[in-house]
Amino acid sequence: MADYSTVKGLFIKEKTADPVASQAAGGSWSTGGSLNTGRQSLFLFGTQTAAIASHGYSTANTVATESYNGTAWTSVNNANNARNAAVRGGAGTSTAGLVASGDNFPSSPRDTAFTESWDGTNWTEVNDLNTGRLGFGGMCGLQTAALGISGHREATSFTAVTNVEQWDGTSWTEVGDVNTARTHGNGSGTTSSALYVGGHTPPSTNYSNLESWNGTSWTETTDMNQKRRLGGGSSDSSSSMIVFAGYTGQPESVSTTTEYWDGSSWTELNDSSTSVGNEGGTGSSTSALMAGGNSEKTATEEWTAPANFDPIVEGEIFFNTTANAIKANKLTFGAGAWATGGTLNTARGNAHASGTQTAGLFSGGDPVHAVTELYDGSTWTEVNDMNTGRAQTHFSNSSPQTDFITASGYSTNITGVVESWNGTSWTETTDVNTGTRNGSSFGESSTAMVKTGGYDGSVYSTSAELWNGTSWTEVAEASGARFVNRGGAGTSTAGIIAGNYPNGTTDAVETWDGTSWTEVSEINTGRSGIGFSGTQTTALAHGGGVGTPQAAQVLTESWNGTSWTEVNDLSQASQSGCGAGSDSSGLHMGGYSPPNLSTTEEWTVPSSITVNSITVS
């Protein structure tokens, strides 16, 4: 009998296992040698094949120290001060290590400032921390250059602190605080580039927060999938980290979950064999060690990712001989959501905007403004003002941050003034034929834009004009007059507009093909003053106003070129705000609630390449 490939001439690879998204994703846990002294809340530092476990709690606080060679633990010289409650509280190698802080229970005060240095044979007391605490939230670095992060204090009713201290080989110096005070998280990296993730505030609030350190300050970035405290962690850089086990959930329980940070997002990996908390963790994201934990465990587990791995390639088709199935690697999108972005310097609505989530532009607005602000993905900065301040303009909201045009609008009255932006300054250019305010528009640059609708001082307009970089030409009119619309996205040859408010809110949607307008599927909730992100075929409509008088909305709808689907709402209701970016990475800026808003929200749709079986009949 002829097989499929002979008949059809299709050649696909045979594989014994599915490919993985990263080297870390191919990793798994295995059993290592048992500790001689079972303990929890221990210091652990070094690598998977050369580690030191010290201190901790084993029916009482202990000074016991053990050395690991990748197979077995050996008892070595004891530490000087018995203490526990250190999570990721050690830094350095098996021959040059450092530990600090800890719980002095049952003595008082319980929060300690002890620091000890390990030279491969003996422990030596060195200069204490400036602020004693129970268990750093995280400690990372080397014996001669380390960071001690956060933690909590008995002296302040076990309140978590934001303090961060840096060790220079001789003494501790206070440096920039973390943004969110918490204890029993995980730190990784160096004194110039580090991460701090998870933790809790006593008695029971767990966190998924991740903060990154650039040597000067901490910045909030992508949260873990699970809120977690008293887990283990290991890392070889500030852009590659795994965290594992610990306490998760509500109600809380010990966990087996492992998560991997690739510098931008978190992915769940293979679970550990044992659910455990209060364990120690060290190593890298591809070669880690976990030891001890509640209740005084001796267990050790080793995390190993393959040196050679088969990465997922989007679109690849292969035959898994183990599963006896044809499979394909497919790009899969998750559910989009809004997150808080940087705050505008000047609160306003009915402005104009363009750019991307990490390079945005916001200018003009009500009450009449000439202010221009640029966004870098976290902060808004004021730059050169427009020549003529105005609001309710038409604008090229699909253009880049450096090549933008705004037309017409309202200053002291309706105006036909047009200005273009080159990334540095505004230049007046040819006026529109008919000045209008509060209509619709879209365009891809300062030389390509379409404006339509609005109010011309006497009537609601259906007129449309096309800008080619030199002059405005009247083109086919839209089907419906549009006022207080704002909604529009796309290019001068492929645009989309939705909603309006001439005599009440409507749900009409029209597309432009460069020559004519076509009515398409209506938006689910008719409204005016919509923010728009995306293109003619993949757009996001967010915010707007409903009713008479208008009430600001949080509604967000996604357009796939055929129909509208309601997705996750904005956090802040906003009417006549602005949109920019794409349907998977967008911005919503300003607007009215009322009052005028200075808020920015960032829309992100997570994506990953997944392995999917193909049904063959």
State the DSSP string of 516-567. -EEEEPPPSS--BS-EEEE-SSSEEEE--EETTTTEE---EEEE-SS-EEE-
Q: What three-state secondary structure class fits 24?
A: helix
Overall average pLDDT of the 580-587 stretch? 95
The helix (run of H) or strand (run of E) holding residue 201 is: strand 200-201
Nearest to 148 by CA among 96, 198, 120, 113: 113
Residue 2 predicted with pLDDT over 60: no
Chain position carrying tokens 């044809």: 326
Cα–Cα distance for residue pair 362/374, rounded to 1 Å? 6
Mean pLDDT of 259-274: 88
Compare 10 and 462 and report the one with higher pLDDT: 462
Q: Is residue 68 scored above 60 in pLDDT?
A: yes
Mean pLDDT of 58-63: 92
281-291: pLDDT as tens digits: 999 989 999 99
Residue 7 has pLDDT above 70, yes or no: no
Architecture of domain 339-603: 6 Propeller (2.120)
Q: Could you tell me the pLDDT band of residue 231, with boundaries at 50, 70 and 90?
A: confident
Asked if 122 contacts 76 with a C-beta cutoff of 8 angstroms, the reply is no
**pLDDT at position 420:** 97
* pLDDT, tens digit (0-9, with 9 covering 90-100), for 307-319: 888 888 888 899 9
The domain defined by 28-174+181-304 folds into Neuraminidase (2.120.10)
The pLDDT of residue 499 = 86
Is residue 293 a contact partner of residue 273, using CB atoms and an 8 Å limit?
no
Measure the CA–CA gap between 256 and 244, rounded to whole angstroms: 7
Answer whether 0.85 is exceeded by the pTM: no
Higher pLDDT, 205 or 531: 531
Q: Sign of the CA dihedral 208, 212, 213, 216?
A: negative
Q: Percentage of the chain surpassing pLDDT 90?
A: 62
The pLDDT, as a whole number, for residue 542 is 96
> Looking at residues 591-596, what average pLDDT do you find?
93
Residue 179 scores a pLDDT above 50: yes
Per residue in 439-463, pLDDT (tens digit) is 999 999 999 999 999 999 988 888 9
User: Could you tell me if 476 and 515 are in contact, meaning their C-beta atoms sit under 8 angstroms apart?
Assistant: yes
Segments making up each domain of the chain, as ranges: 28-174+181-304, 339-603
* In contact, 242 and 235? CB cutoff 8 Å: yes
28-174+181-304 matches 339-603 in fold: yes
For 617, residues 6+ apart whose C-beta sits below 8 A from its C-beta are none
Q: How many CB atoms lie within 10 A of CB 613?
A: 12
Residue 568 has pLDDT above 70, yes or no: yes
pLDDT at 609: 75
Pick from 72, 133, 142: which is nearest to 100 by CA?
A: 133
Q: What is the mean pLDDT of residues 103-125?
A: 90
Confidence at residue 616, expressed as pLDDT on a 0 to 100 scale: 64
Mean pLDDT, range 393-400, rounded to an integer: 94
**Res 1: pLDDT:** 45
